[in-house]
Structure 1
Amino acid sequence: MILEDIRIDQGGRPLLSLDARIAPGEVLTLMGPSGVGKSTLLAYLAGFLAPAFTGQGRVLLNDSDLTRLPAEARQLGLLFQDPLLFPHLSVGGNLAFGMPRKESLNASGKGSRKETRRARHEKIEAALEEIGMAGFADRDPTTLSGGQRSRVALMRVLLSKPCAMLLDEPFSKLDASLRQEMRSLVFTRVQRLGLPALMVTHDAADAKAAGGPVIELGAQP
């Protein structure tokens, strides 16, 4: 992923500028104090920059300029501080929400509803087993621990088949005992799937665990 001549202003005042390249499977970490524009940058990349800000510059991914696409077509996986699971859906329902609708169809693009449901169910069960939550598909997400909710949120993002990841302080609200577990879970999968990832954080331990380049953003005068 290439971030080319990115510039973000707030009320006509320069807030942030960035040029960077992120290799497949690499995590680029942005660090800096609150108010420097880290999360605002992620919003610009994802396509939902607030009206108070203006942005320019290109975001290139797989030979496409994402800034020309609507947010829903950018194929970026977002992981936030909060898991943001849907309370009205089961754990399995949350995972199914992230899956492309056409994924369960056969090669001809056709498939019975029964076949589609079975294929989705099998994929959900396999995903839960991968994160140590086999048998949790029917659980109410409000009954999960913080670490379990975070794992489900990560797997929901991965099942959406993103082409890159944006990580917004994804470990900041976890207990210290869970942070290393989630760091390993996230970064291992980013590397294994070859996804370029951009993470913003205040925590130097996050950057160290990510193992990629780090850019320090200073507060604007």
Structure 2
Amino acid sequence: MADRSALILEDISIRLHGRRLIALAGRVEPGTVLTVMGPSGSGKSTLLAFIGGFLDPVFSAQGRVSSGAVVLTDLPAEERRAGILFQDPLLFPHLSVADNIAIAVPGAVRSPRQRRQMAMAALERVGLAGFGKRDPETLSGGQKARVALQRVLVSEPRLLLLDEPFSKLDATLRDQVREMVFAEARTAGLPMILVTHDAADAVAAGGPVHNVGAE
């Protein structure tokens, strides 16, 4: 289950070749969204990379990120439990829809049957009951987004990082998927950080907004 701890950002500073791209401090409560707004190329996604532990070494970064008593920036990426959604769902084409979710179930659940049951229950929560055996390529864009979200949630993350996950959806789907993502993450008690260039995303998120400039 989610830890339901706030995400604390302390004196975050990210630079590229000496020029500062990101300067940020704050607290993101469970179930709330911090939106980082800026145009493409402004460096906003580097914040997610820093929090997740996969920042390209071409960037220099300072600051501390913690979740409850856990200092995430002291941990390797695989131990931070930072769930992330990208612009593309990134489903594995060689796996069924259910197996795409089951593969993310924590290793403590060893039974293949139990892992699959968890995947099927996750699909049912987002209206995709009966889709478990499907090839991911047969799904619509909105359905793929739902599967990608459930794959993240079954991994039991501490937080959710959203890297413009709605930008490639048409207007109607964007509203539906955005509402679903926020609702599911709030139910799970996850603090969220959303990076976007779309003001409508920030309005829907409803939390504080931090603006970054263009490069």
Query: Who is 1:42 aligned against?
Result: 48
Please give the TM-score of this superposition, normalised by the length of structure 2. 0.94
Query: Who is 1:206 aligned against?
Result: 201
Write the distance in 2 (CA, Å) between the matches of 1:216 and 1:193: 27
Write the distance in 1 (CA, Å) between the matches of 2:41 and 2:121: 40
Three-state SS of the structure 1 residue aligned to 2:57 is coil
Query: Who is 2:127 aligned against?
Result: 132
Query: Who is 1:21 aligned against?
Result: 27
Write the distance in 1 (CA, Å) between the matches of 2:129 and 2:32: 29
| Residue pairs, 1:30-179, within 5 angstroms | 30-103=36-109, 116-179=111-174
Deviation string, structure 1 residues 145-183 (Cα, Å, up to 9, x no partner): 111111100000000000100000010001111011101
Write the distance in 2 (CA, Å) between the matches of 1:12 and 1:214: 25
Write the distance in 2 (CA, Å) between the matches of 1:143 and 1:132: 16
Write the distance in 2 (CA, Å) between the matches of 1:168 and 1:78: 7
Contact 2:36 2:210 survives alignment (8 Å)? yes
Query: Who is 1:107 aligned against?
Result: none
Query: Who is 2:3 aligned against?
Result: none
Shift of 1:100: 0.3
Write the distance in 1 (CA, Å) between the matches of 2:90 and 2:117: 24
Write the distance in 2 (CA, Å) between the matches of 1:90 and 1:8: 39
Three-state SS of the structure 2 residue aligned to 1:103 is coil
Deviation string, structure 1 residues 182-202 (Cα, Å, up to 9, x no partner): 011111112111111000011
Shift of 1:118: 2.4
Query: Who is 2:181 aligned against?
Result: 186
Shift of 1:219: 3.1
Shift of 1:135: 1.0
Shift of 1:144: 0.9
Please give the TM-score of this superposition, normalised by the length of structure 1. 0.91
Aligned residues: 209
Higher gyration radius (CA): 1
Gaps of 5+ in 2: 1-6
Gaps of 5+ in 1: 105-115
Flag as ranges the 4+ runs of structure 1 deviating above 6 A.
none
Contact 2:99 2:116 survives alignment (8 Å)? no
Contact 2:33 2:205 survives alignment (8 Å)? yes
Shift of 1:59: 0.3
Contact 2:99 2:119 survives alignment (8 Å)? no
Which amino acid in the other structure matches residue 116 of structure 2? H
- Farther off after superposition, 149-158 or 204-213: 204-213
Query: Who is 2:191 aligned against?
Result: 196
